[in-house]
Amino acid sequence: MRSETGFDPDLYQRFPTQEERPAEEEEELRRIWCAPHGWEYLTVVNNNYVGIFYLGTAFLFFLLAGVLALLMRVQLAAPLMEVLPQATYNQVFTMHGTVMMFLFAVPMVEAAGVLLLPQMLAARDLPFPRLSAYAFWAYAVGGLAFFASLFVGLAPDGGWFMYPPYTSKAYSPGINADFWLLGIGFIEISAIAGAIEIIVGVLRTRAPGMSLDKMPIFAWAMLVFAVMIIIAFPSVILATLLLEIERAFNWPFFDAARGGDPVLWQHLFWFFGHPEVYIIFLPAAGMMSMIVPTVAKAELVGYRLIVLAMIATGFISFGVWAHHMFTVGLPPMTTGFFSAASMAVSLPAGIQVFSWIATLAIGRPRFNAPGLFVLGSIVIFVTGGLTGVMVALVPFDWQAHDTYFIVAHLHYVLIGGMVFPLFAAMYYWIPMVSSRAMSERLAKWVFGLMFTGMNVAFMPMHLAGLMGMPRRVYTYLPGSGWDMLNLISTVGAFLFAFGVLLFLIDLARNFRMAPGGGNAGNVYGAGSLEWLPTELYSTRSIPVVKSREPLWDDPKISDNVEQGRYFLPRSATGLRETIVTSPLLAEPQYVQIMPGPSVWPLVAAIFTAFFFLALTVQAYMFGLASGVITVMAMLRWLSETDRPIAQDEVDIGAGIMVPTYMTGPRSHGWWAMVILMIVMAMISAMAMFGLAFLWSNQPTFWTPPALLGEGAPIALGYGLVVAAAVSSRWLHRIGNNWAVAPVLLAGLAAPLLTWLDIRMWSAVLAPDASGQGAAVFAILSLQGTVAAIGILFAAYLGWRALRGLITPTRNSTLDLACLFIGYCGAQGLVGTIFTRAVGA
């Protein structure tokens, strides 16, 4: 067996160890991982708590958005009803879609990852527990405040994809649209924080021996999911930013009369928006692929094919966005490409469906609660997939687009592809976190009502669409022939809602949170690691993984894990810790010290939410204050990390010694920073795409850009920033005492370069005069923002250097500052040249 890191795989033979472990070890683990009490309970960061809070909040949004759906169904039950007035209806349908997509679906699957991944990978926690806590609180506070806008009639009404120009200041003068742009913009930031956590968690904190081909399929799904978020979300973050800037400062990105283009929004939005659908679907499919083998009592058929299918889905999904724009008037070459890609993406979906069917065929399927929802999901999802193929055909889409046919299609896909798997997952995993399982008897009713209701509600909508009923209509005329279909749909919606209500009753009766052990246990007889006996510290010891279903293949594993016969049977450093392993073969590399409960992520999250809300209601001073408090809280939270500890190396079991600290590309912090840089690079790239797009679509509005030659000194300056960051790392490695100096200087110099560039462009263009001006200054503003964060990095680094916290071995802060400031220079360099090249 080859090795990835030089670790000798023969060492795995030492496990399970034979000697008795002292009983105090377990007591110490309990003490180290115990959750704080009283009001400090809110400061927990452990994934067992944060995961449950996160899931609960996301499910609450599912219920809230569901109630909005019922309101709409009542309004549409008959023609010319007056239950919801026009303006209210338009807000309600916008909020229904927005809340379901942004506040329910993505957070729900992300939350499932936070809760389940550490258990499945047998890690003690995710690598950045405080980041999880921050992501959760920012989402919860911001999301609830956003939802509340509905109660004061200030909710957005532009539809969940917020197409300008309707959402621009001229046609939506109120702050409703700002609520959407700022509220959603910042919930996306929370999603990205979660994605970074998940990528690093999946790739670096797996149990030793769990090579990628033994990884639970859900972890694969979450990995692809998180990578897709990293690529897709920057696009919508940029889009929301641009539209908000257009609204606030009158920069005409989307105003055709001034050289902007409303179609630019559609590209930016759907470049995110369609991958978004797979972002929601893949984790749910991953759950299905975990549940189906348990339901069938058989190993998953086609594991490798499913992994390939998921990765393929991720790739292809970035080539389908324009299928939402077949009626925009794109050339046939373009629509043809997107049509082909949209059809191609159904292949990997088909692979997954047929592997579930094949798994059921070789096993002995049981019709328990998860089993029923799995079957329901397959039927509904396949139906939605088939209508998806239909609308992938451009001519058919010309008819079906923006009608109730699409409403039916997307609900079949999302309910079959996400909601039913989610209910299966809740029945399946609740015994892992609750002391009681859910009622199987009631589950049959829940399933029956939801499955029937779903089909009764949405099947007739296909027909309504073919009969000419457009989507997003608050009413319709009598005699249009749509009356009966709509009435049936309304009845179905209420059947579905009764099913959900029954589920809630069951939840109230049986759900008793048991994060510290004493859960209902492996009631369905699954084979993956999350069913090992756990307490707050997760498993007593971290097993060596030799197969995909360790619990099925090694009946003694649970006992051995609990007796501490594997890795880390105790806290080696006396602190919270987990083993960081290599990305491919999961060989132990070092012990990561994990942060414990802290109030600072909570404070930072609350004030981040306040910051965005303050911007929305134009309370700028309050917003500024909130922003400052947020940054202070984050620095405070950071300052508690990256601390020296006594032991350089520890025994992680059976005499295997690993370091307690790691710097450079092998450290988990480096990985997170690289991912963050990809996010920033994507935002920047999308902004440059915007500039090029406006140039090719609105060439008559183009001013010849500032000369490339004039920008050369600035470009050179940015190049020096990159060089300084690189040299700092090099100087540190050779032990030079002044290693910090170049990167500090570079961090301070970068904003000056941006300022010079802005001055140079101001002579040529005004940001509010043309689309070109707006786009160029948007790129400059992004650069300015990155440079400003660079100053913070430099200041933090300088402060730590002065306090002597940068030592030859403990230099993560220096590493990360070099990475960030180096990135800042690189982005500046590209931007300086690109802005001058487009239309030159």
Compute the distance between CA of residue 704 and CA of residue 712 in angstroms, rounded to an integer. 17
Indicate whether 621 belongs to the interface with another protein (CB under 8 A): no
Amino acid at 795: A
Residue with tokens 């959407």: 180
Which span (34-42, 477-485, 527-535, 643-651) binds another protein, by CB under 8 A? Answer: 477-485
Member of 263, 310, 613, 680 binding another protein (CB under 8 A):
263
Indicate whether 481 belongs to the interface with another protein (CB under 8 A): yes
**Which of the residues 151 through 170 are near another protein (CB under 8 A)?**
157-159, 163, 165-166
Cβ neighbours of 363 (radius 10 Å): 18
CB of 283 closer than 8 Å to CB of 112? yes
Count the residues of the shown chain that bind another protein, applying the rule CB under 8 A: 89
Member of 11, 42, 328, 575 binding another protein (CB under 8 A):
328
**Which of the residues 657 through 676 are near another protein (CB under 8 A)?**
none
Query: Which of the 8 DSSP states describes residue 650?
Result: E
- The residue (of 115 and 221) whose beta carbon lies closer to another protein is 221
Of 50, 5, 390, nearest to 208 (Cα)?
5
Compute the distance between CA of residue 828 and CA of residue 716 in angstroms, rounded to an integer. 10
- The residue (of 253 and 607) whose beta carbon lies closer to another protein is 253
Member of 123, 217, 268, 400 binding another protein (CB under 8 A):
400
**Which of the residues 489 through 548 are near another protein (CB under 8 A)?**
none
**Which of the residues 669 through 708 are near another protein (CB under 8 A)?**
698
Contacts of 324 (CB under 8 A, 6+ apart): 266, 270, 273, 274
Cβ neighbours of 802 (radius 10 Å): 10
Indicate whether 329 belongs to the interface with another protein (CB under 8 A): yes
Least distance in angstroms from the C-beta of 453 to another protein: 19
Compute the distance between CA of residue 89 and CA of residue 99 in angstroms, rounded to an integer. 15
Compute the distance between CA of residue 678 and CA of residue 18 in angstroms, rounded to an integer. 46
- The residue (of 448 and 533) whose beta carbon lies closer to another protein is 448
Indicate whether 473 belongs to the interface with another protein (CB under 8 A): yes
Compute the distance between CA of residue 782 and CA of residue 787 in angstroms, rounded to an integer. 9
Least distance in angstroms from the C-beta of 691 to another protein: 17
User: Which token pair is 675?
Assistant: 């991912």
User: Which token pair is 799?
Assistant: 């402060």
- The residue (of 257 and 752) whose beta carbon lies closer to another protein is 257
- DSSP track, 195-237: HHHHHHHHHHSPPTT--GGGS-HHHHHHHHHHHHHHHHHHHHH
- The residue (of 350 and 521) whose beta carbon lies closer to another protein is 350
- The residue (of 91 and 519) whose beta carbon lies closer to another protein is 91
- The residue (of 126 and 309) whose beta carbon lies closer to another protein is 309
Phi/psi at 645 (nearest 5 deg)?
-125, 170
Least distance in angstroms from the C-beta of 360 to another protein: 4
Member of 19, 20, 38, 332 binding another protein (CB under 8 A):
332
322-340: b or e for each residue (b if 16 or more CB lie within 10 Å)?
A: bbbbbeeebeeeebeebbe
**Which of the residues 409 through 468 are near another protein (CB under 8 A)?**
463, 465-468
Burial category of 535 from C-beta neighbours within 10 Å (exposed 0-12, middle 13-18, buried 19 and up): buried
- The residue (of 173 and 518) whose beta carbon lies closer to another protein is 173
Member of 354, 552, 702, 755 binding another protein (CB under 8 A):
354
User: Which token pair is 663?
Assistant: 């710097």
CB of 631 closer than 8 Å to CB of 166? no
Compute the distance between CA of residue 283 and CA of residue 641 in angstroms, rounded to an integer. 31
**Which of the residues 377 through 396 are near another protein (CB under 8 A)?**
378-379, 382-383, 386-387, 389-390, 392-396
**Which of the residues 280 through 319 are near another protein (CB under 8 A)?**
298, 301-302, 305, 309
Handedness of CA 159, 164, 169, 171 (dihedral sign): negative
Member of 274, 471, 548, 800 binding another protein (CB under 8 A):
471
Of 623, 641, 629, nearest to 604 (Cα)?
629
**Which of the residues 170 through 229 are near another protein (CB under 8 A)?**
171-172
- The residue (of 249 and 367) whose beta carbon lies closer to another protein is 367
- The residue (of 367 and 620) whose beta carbon lies closer to another protein is 367
- The residue (of 473 and 685) whose beta carbon lies closer to another protein is 473
- The residue (of 485 and 779) whose beta carbon lies closer to another protein is 485
Which span (28-36, 340-348, 579-587, 676-684) binds another protein, by CB under 8 A? Answer: 340-348
CB of 409 closer than 8 Å to CB of 458? no
- The residue (of 360 and 786) whose beta carbon lies closer to another protein is 360
Quote the distance between the C-alpha of residue 387 and its chain's center: 27
The reply to whether omega before 234 is within 30° of 0 (cis) is: no
Which span (117-125, 358-366, 660-668, 793-801) binds another protein, by CB under 8 A? Answer: 358-366
Burial category of 759 from C-beta neighbours within 10 Å (exposed 0-12, middle 13-18, buried 19 and up): exposed
Indicate whether 549 belongs to the interface with another protein (CB under 8 A): no
- The residue (of 150 and 295) whose beta carbon lies closer to another protein is 295
Burial category of 808 from C-beta neighbours within 10 Å (exposed 0-12, middle 13-18, buried 19 and up): exposed
Compute the distance between CA of residue 521 and CA of residue 533 in angstroms, rounded to an integer. 8
Least distance in angstroms from the C-beta of 306 to another protein: 9
Of 774, 457, 810, nearest to 661 (Cα)?
810
- The residue (of 85 and 808) whose beta carbon lies closer to another protein is 85
- The residue (of 86 and 736) whose beta carbon lies closer to another protein is 86
Which span (40-48, 359-367, 447-455, 512-520) binds another protein, by CB under 8 A? Answer: 359-367
Compute the distance between CA of residue 200 and CA of residue 445 in angstroms, rounded to an integer. 40
Compute the distance between CA of residue 666 and CA of residue 129 in angstroms, rounded to an integer. 19
Helix, strand, or coil (residue 528): coil
CB of 507 closer than 8 Å to CB of 172? no
Reduce the secondary structure of 405-467 to three states and give it as a string: HHHHHHHHHHHHHHHHHHHHHHHHHHHHHECCCCCHHHHHHHHHHHHHHHHHHHHHHHHHHHC
Least distance in angstroms from the C-beta of 581 to another protein: 30
- The residue (of 262 and 627) whose beta carbon lies closer to another protein is 262
Member of 335, 519, 616, 811 binding another protein (CB under 8 A):
335
Indicate whether 261 belongs to the interface with another protein (CB under 8 A): yes
Indicate whether 474 belongs to the interface with another protein (CB under 8 A): yes
Least distance in angstroms from the C-beta of 274 to another protein: 18
Least distance in angstroms from the C-beta of 103 to another protein: 21
Quote the distance between the C-alpha of residue 500 and its chain's center: 25
Indicate whether 242 belongs to the interface with another protein (CB under 8 A): no
Which span (399-407, 445-453, 492-500, 793-801) binds another protein, by CB under 8 A? Answer: 399-407
Reduce the secondary structure of 2-14 to three states and give it as a string: CCCCCCCHHHHHH
- The residue (of 379 and 491) whose beta carbon lies closer to another protein is 379
Helix, strand, or coil (residue 578): strand
Least distance in angstroms from the C-beta of 425 to another protein: 20
Phi/psi at 780 (nearest 5 deg)?
-65, -40
Member of 22, 174, 336, 665 binding another protein (CB under 8 A):
336
Least distance in angstroms from the C-beta of 331 to another protein: 8
Least distance in angstroms from the C-beta of 260 to another protein: 8
Indicate whether 81 belongs to the interface with another protein (CB under 8 A): no
Which span (33-41, 203-211, 400-408, 681-689) binds another protein, by CB under 8 A? Answer: 400-408
Compute the distance between CA of residue 826 and CA of residue 817 in angstroms, rounded to an integer. 14
Least distance in angstroms from the C-beta of 396 to another protein: 6
